[in-house]
Each structure stands twice: as structure tokens, then as C-alpha cells.
Amino acid sequence: MKSTLDILEATITNVMTEVTGQKDCSALVRPATDAKFGDYQVNGVMPLAKQLKTNPRKLAEQIVAKLNSATADKLSDICETPEIAGPGFINLRLKPELVAANLLQISKDAGQFGIEKAEKPKTIVVDFSGPNIAKQMHVGHLRSTIIGDCICRLLELRGHKVIRQNHIGDWGTQFGMLIAYLRVLYKDKLKQPDSVSIGDLEQFYKNAKHWYDTDPTFADSAREEVVKLHNNDKDTLSVWKEFVKESRRHYQPIYETLQIDLIYAHEKGESFYKDMLPGVVAELKKKGLAVESEGAVCVFPVDSTHSTSSGQTSSPQAGFKDKEGKPLPVIIQKSDGAYLYATTDLAAIRYRVGELKADEIIYVTDARQGLHFEMVFTVAKMAGWVKPETELVHVTFGSVLGEDGKPLKTRSGENVKLKELLDEAVERARKVVEDKNPGLPEDEKKKIANAVGIGAVKYADYTNNRTSDYIFSFDKMLAMEGNTAPYMQYAYARVRSIQRKGRDKGIEVDKEIAQSQSISLTEPSELDLAKHLIRYGEAVSSAVSDYRPNYLTAYLYDLAQKFSSFYNDCPVLDASADKRPTRLLLCDLTAKTIEHGLHNLLGIEVIEQM
Ligand code: ARG
């Protein structure tokens, strides 16, 4: 179903064109910033007045007059008489009849919540998580993993074909170091590589790296191992395979704990592209884009948006610069023949567009990789590997900080392991459950602690504007007040308990809802909740169009609060017979919407009883 916002936008834009003859105007209808002024406001009059060099308030008056005239009868079905405010805003207030009708429709159209499908579904590759092999996942991988997963769910809900890609770091010099190290010190482990645990691998890698950095002879032998690996040496390759497997045994359970839809089939790590790398370099050379520079093969990317009007893009002035103002290259092959992270990303773009037929590729990594992706995207465009209409998007995020405002580390200064962090969250959530409901059976307690603990970590991350850093605090994320997972889970459980109580009292809850043909919204808090419920689709749209889960969590929190006010003001089970079906329906849709948001879109468990 088309959202009210979209209908308003289209109707008012039309009227603006009719009034002014201006074709390229738009109403810019946005949710009102303050409910005092109505539900939506039209922001597009002022820019249009400026363009036409006319008085914005007068123009707003003309538009409103037209909107009120018979020709715009559609609008009067939706809104009360529009009001002009300030220098030229138009405020719109939805009619209760429209709210009631939409609510009924959403409740009948089970599971879709009035969410609109994309007009032109696209094939979208989402590259997220990407842990590095032989290391444990740390808190730095949390954001990419969960934000990426939520973006996939949002896009799928809108009807796009989503291809999840886990670009694991499974190729490169670190394996050379690791294997060279074992060759010298732990020959037996090389014979039984499947006996090496992820913890061992991590420790060996740390030692090997230190050795590599301090001893040129060892560094040489590490490089030799890399060459062997790259030449598909059988023994080296089979050791490498075991290490990748062990790493997978480590991260797959973490995905399951976090309810992340990433499986082996989504894994296309760096090694997947290894045989394509020579071709990437050769093609870039052939196209005259790659040049030798100080022994390495480089491309100097030039953003076509900076190009001259003649289409000549070779002016180095328009390219990327280092601090001294010298042109900055993307190195695609080192003088020793080794390929780089960027070379693999170029091969991946070519594959994703060429083979996976991606219309859009989304990369979810922290903001520090911004320049890397900007340069790689530019090279891919110069090479003609992406069409002008293919979208390449880098969805960035900030860091997770400790209470001291510095990147979250353990006391000894190490990265916090994701597994340990999640275990601690569940343990702490267990205490919350013990406090709230000590009489629950043991397995219930366990289940709830798990849902609350993991939910709290995820939800806290999602509520933060992804581009900012945030301070990780167990106390805050596990609090029963504020916009937290336990608060939302509790809100859900409360609505469900109202329904249960109703059934216990002999009220045929589902029948009453199913049979309600008309809805009467008389109390202000009732209408307020209903209006919010019909706007779930808007929250989903804004979250997906900006790849920002926090729009969704903000919506859910408002919903829980509006439900609280409604439930304070309006009896539900004891309501009179003419009011009860509407109120039962409001409860039901509230519960279903929270469940859909938390569970289907954020991958957080809801709990029937807390
Ligand atoms: N392994 C990388 C890291 O830990 C993330 C991979 C991101 N994806 C990509 N196509 N480069 O930083």
C-alpha cells in the first residue's frame, strides 16, 4: 500500500505545479517536528517562492486555497484543512477517519504492515562482517556484522534481491608469517594443522608478526611461504585450509548467537579472487590506466566528477592527493609481485557487477576505510567495470569506545574479544532476570537472559547514529528505562500479558479483532497511538534509504511510549463493548509491530513473559 506520506507528497506537488506552472518543484512533505503543529509539514513552498522570487506566505496561501478547492478533493479525504505557519510552512493533520481506515487495512494485511515494496527491485550486494582469519573476532567487527545484517533485512523487506557477501580476510602475508613461524618452532603442529585452536593461531600470529618486524631473515622466509601459497603448493595450501576452517568454527557460532544471517554460502573471502588478480592488473595496464611507478604497478584515480567538460580525465590536478599535494596512487601490485587489499577489492567489484549482476554494492566498514573505497570505486569506474547507474556505497560507522572515551580495550590494552563481550552481556542480563522474576524456572531464566543480553548489545549499537562513536556501557544497555532492548522487550511482554489476561477472562480477543469492521478513535492518546502505528512504513523507508537502523529504534521507542500513555488513559479489557475491539486491535498491532521491528528487522528475540 502507498504510504500516506507519498500520497501527500504527490498530491501537493501537483497542486504546486498547477498554481505556479513550475514543473520541477516538490512539496517536501516531512513528519511534523512537533505534534502541536499537526502530523506533517510541507517544507517545499519556501524554496519554490525563492526560485520564483515571490512572497512565500502569499504563495502558501494560494496553494492552500487550491488544496481546499474541489479539484483537490483527494486531500480532504486525508487531512483536516491545512494551516499556514511561519514564513510559509503548511501544516497537515490527518483525519481520524483516515487513520482508522489505514489501521484496519494494516491489521487485515497480515505481516506487511503497510510497508511499500520498491517500484523497481534491484540486485544489491551487501559486503559486511569480513572478519580476518586466524584472529578472533573483536568488538570492531560487531558494528559491521550487525549493521550489515540489518541493512540486508531492510532491503529484503522492500523487495530487493540481496546477495550477502562475507569478504573474509583469508589471504596474504599473515599466512606466510604464521606458516614460517610454525615451520621453525612447531613442526608437529604443521603435521596436524586441524589440532590448532583459534586461540593458538592468534598467539602464534602475534609472535610471528613480532619476529617478522624485527628479523629480516625470518621476514624473507615468511615471504617465501606466501609465494608457495600463491603458487598453490599442496602442503602449504592444506595447512592454510585447516586454519580457515578453525576460524570458521570460531565465527560461525558468533553469527548464530547474534542471529546474523551469514552462512558458508555467503563467504567469498579474499582468496576467492586470487586467480583473478593477474587479469585485473593486465586489464588496467591494457586500458592505459595502470603505470609502473618505483617498481610497483599503480593507478592514479581521477574522479570523473572532477573531470573537465571535454571529458578529459587525465589531469592529475583532479585526482587524489597526499598531504604534500602529490598524486596519490592505488597500488595494485608491489615490486615483488604481491597483490594488495585494493587489487582484491577491484576484482570483487568486477565480479559482483559482471557475474552477480549487482545494481548496487554496499560496503559496511568503519569510516577509516573511506579513502580506500573512494579510490577503488574511482578506479573501477575508470576501468568501465561499473555502469554509470551502478551504485557503490560505503556505509561507514564510528568506533565503540570504553567509559574513558577511548576505543574499547581490555585492561591490558588488547582488543576486546567479541565472544567474551557477548558472554558477559548474557551473564549480566541473568542478574536482571533474577531481580525481576526470581521464581521463573531455570530454563526460562536462561532463555530470557540470552535474549536480553544479546539483544541489549545489538540494540544499543543500533540506537546510536551509526556515523558517531559511542560509549559501550553494560549498565546503560541493560537498564529497564530508556531506549534499550530490555525496555522494548518488556513493552512487548506487557502487551502480550494484557492479551493473555483477556483470554483468561473469557474475552475472545482474536475474534473481536478479526470481526471489527469499524474503528472508533475517541481519546487523544488512542488516536496518537493509532497514528504512530500507521507510520511504521515511513520509519522503515527512512531507515533503509539512509541505511540507518537508529531511525527504526527511535520509532519503536516512541511506539512503546505512546502505548504506555494509551494504556494509562484507556481501559482495554474493561472497556465498553463499543470501544473494546478497537483497543484490543491497538494492543495487537502494537505487539506485532514491536515484534516485527525487533525480531524480523533487528534480529532481536522478543519474550512473551519477563
Ligand atoms: N577484512 C576487512 C577488515 O577487517 C573487512 C573487509 C571489508 N570488505 C571489503 N570488500 N574490503 O577490515
Cβ–ligand 1 distance for 172 under 6 Å, the answer no
Cβ–ligand 1 distance for 169 under 6 Å, the answer yes
Q: How far apart are CA 545 and CA 3, in angstroms?
A: 15
pLDDT at residue number 42: 95
Rounded to the nearest angstrom, the distance between the alpha carbon of 167 and the centre of ligand 1 is 6
pTM for this model (two decimals): 0.93
Cβ–ligand 1 distance for 329 under 6 Å, the answer no
What are the b/e assignments for 19-54, b being 16+ CB within 10 Å? bbeeeebbbbbbebeeeebbbbbbebbbebbeeeee
Write out the residue limits of the CATH 1.10.730.10 domain(s) in the chain. 416-610
Express each pLDDT in 10-26 by its tens digit: 999 999 999 999 988 99
> Which segments of 355-505 does DSSP mark as H helices, in order?
370-382, 418-436, 442-463, 474-477, 485-504
**Phi and psi torsions of 335, nearest 5°:** -65, -25
Write out the residue limits of the CATH 3.40.50.620 domain(s) in the chain. 145-161+271-397
∠ CA 492-496-501, nearest 5°, is 150
Write out the residue limits of the CATH 3.30.1360.70 domain(s) in the chain. 4-94
pLDDT at residue number 182: 93
Chain-centre distance for alpha carbon 11: 31
Task: Dig out the grid coordinates for 325 from the structure.
Answer: 599535494
Rounded to the nearest angstrom, the distance between the alpha carbon of 168 and the centre of ligand 1 is 7
Express each pLDDT in 271-312 by its tens digit: 999 999 999 999 999 999 999 988 999 999 987 654 334 434
Rounded to the nearest angstrom, the distance between the alpha carbon of 95 and the centre of ligand 1 is 49
Express each pLDDT in 386-437 by its tens digit: 999 999 999 999 999 999 999 998 888 888 999 999 999 999 999 999 988 8
Q: Collapsing DSSP states into helix, strand and coil, what is residue 579?
A: coil
Element (H, E) at 534: none
Q: In 46-85, at which residue ranges do the beta strands (DSSP E only) sit?
A: 83-85
Which residue from 276, 365, 377, 392 has its CB within 8 A of the most atoms of ligand 1, so it is best to mutate? 365
What are the b/e assignments for 439-454, b being 16+ CB within 10 Å? ebeeeebeebbbbbbb
DSSP class per residue in 420-437? HHHHHHHHHHHHHHHHH-
Q: Identity (one letter) of the amino acid at 89?
A: F
Cβ–ligand 1 distance for 365 under 6 Å, the answer yes
> Any idea which fold 4-94 has?
Gyrase A; domain 2 (3.30.1360)
Give the position, in ligand 1's atom list, of the atom nearest the Cα of 140: 4
Q: How far apart are CA 108 and CA 293, in angstroms?
A: 66
Q: How far apart are CA 197 and CA 134, in angstroms?
A: 9
Give the position, in ligand 1's atom list, of the atom nearest the Cα of 365: 7
Ligand 1, atom 4: nearest CA belongs to which residue? 131
Rounded to the nearest angstrom, the distance between the alpha carbon of 428 and the centre of ligand 1 is 31
Cβ–ligand 1 distance for 132 under 6 Å, the answer yes
User: What number does CATH give the domain 145-161+271-397?
Assistant: 3.40.50.620
Per-10-residue mean pLDDT, the chain, length 610 = 87 93 92 90 95 94 87 78 92 94 88 88 98 91 97 97 97 89 90 90 93 95 88 89 94 97 97 96 97 93 57 54 90 90 97 98 96 96 95 97 91 89 97 91 96 98 96 95 96 97 95 87 95 95 96 98 97 94 96 97 94
Q: In 214-371, at which residue ranges do the beta strands (DSSP E only) sit?
A: 290-293, 296-299, 330-333, 360-364
| Strands 40-42 vs 391-395: parallel, antiparallel or unpaired | unpaired
Asked if 429 contacts 452 with a C-beta cutoff of 8 angstroms, the reply is yes
Cβ–ligand 1 distance for 127 under 6 Å, the answer yes
Question: Is 1.10.730.10 the CATH classification of the domain at 416-610?
Answer: yes
**Phi and psi torsions of 465, nearest 5°:** -55, 120
